[in-house]
Structure 1
Amino acid sequence: MEVLELRSAVLMNIEVFLLLNEFAQDKGEMLKHESAWGNIADEFQDLNTVQHETMAYLSGTPASKITLAQAATYVRESEAYGLTKLENLIILNLRPWHQPVVEAIVEDYSIRFPPPEETAKNSTPNGTVHLRPLRKVILDYLPYEDPDKEYADDDDDEDEEDRGEEGNGMEVDG
């Protein structure tokens, strides 16, 4: 076997997730007709394990919540920002919801996207088109539940308990 084109394309997690789902459905159809093909399941046990583990991992990522249409809409909307294919790929795979994460993904973020007040100082008399913050575009077009919410709710309960314990033993003389 010979490799004709090395790394000719990079897949998004959503594409891998959908492809593996399709393979799982096809495998179900093949197993219905297993007697005609012989015992296929045993021959592909290692492949089945890799497929299962990959699906289990991707089910916990934003890839399981995003559709290809949403990804295409995001890419179309983000064209104005001049992001590289790799930056878009990482954003689609990670689905960042915090600004520092977005800044870490996009190379030279502070240079490429200066704060609005700096842009206004350097604008021409004709005016400069101000882009919405990239994070806002990500939040608008790539839905994903913030996993920090679960922990934030738990932390709030703990904080209330801590405050209650601190206040029990102290009295303030006025």
Structure 2
Amino acid sequence: MPQGLVPQRTAPRSDAVRDDAFSRMLYERHGTVLFSFAVQLCGGDQHRAEDVVQETAVRAWQHQGILDPANDRVRTWLFTVAHRIVIDHHRARQARPKEIGDEESDEPSVPDPADRVVTLRAVLEAMTELTEQQREVLIYTYYAGYSVDQTAAMLGVAPGTVKSRAHYAMRALRASLRAQAVMD
């Protein structure tokens, strides 16, 4: 029988006292090192590591007849059990269907086409409330994709005028869309 896994020969005591002494000695001698090992196995997740240590301690307690917590060789047994527990948990998560909120999907979510139609309609309606100059600036800069300088050249105005009209047009659009409850 490997060292560290020898039956304990102690004076007969009540089971509760023996169980308490076993658990205390196990945690005192191996708890900190086992927890550090479990944190590494769990990728830094301390809460999962605590669960792994606790489950490892329960299994050690179940085998206290063959384990001697005073012997440092029992640490190898504890590490092996902790490693197997982490592997079992990982396999269990892989085997069950993915639950809502487990992890975000790598695929981008597809917006509802109906929302786009409603928003487009609301924007077009709000654009009718703008002045002709503001509407022109927004069409050139936002919809056609022209730069401020290109828009200024097309409209025959200064770039500063284009910026000013775009600013006030966007402000008016936001106010109109908020009033229509399209924007927050």
Is TM more than 0.5 here? no
Which of 1 and 2 has higher RCO (CA within 8 Å, sep 6+)? 1
Higher alpha-carbon Rg: 2
TM bracket, shorter-chain basis: under 0.3
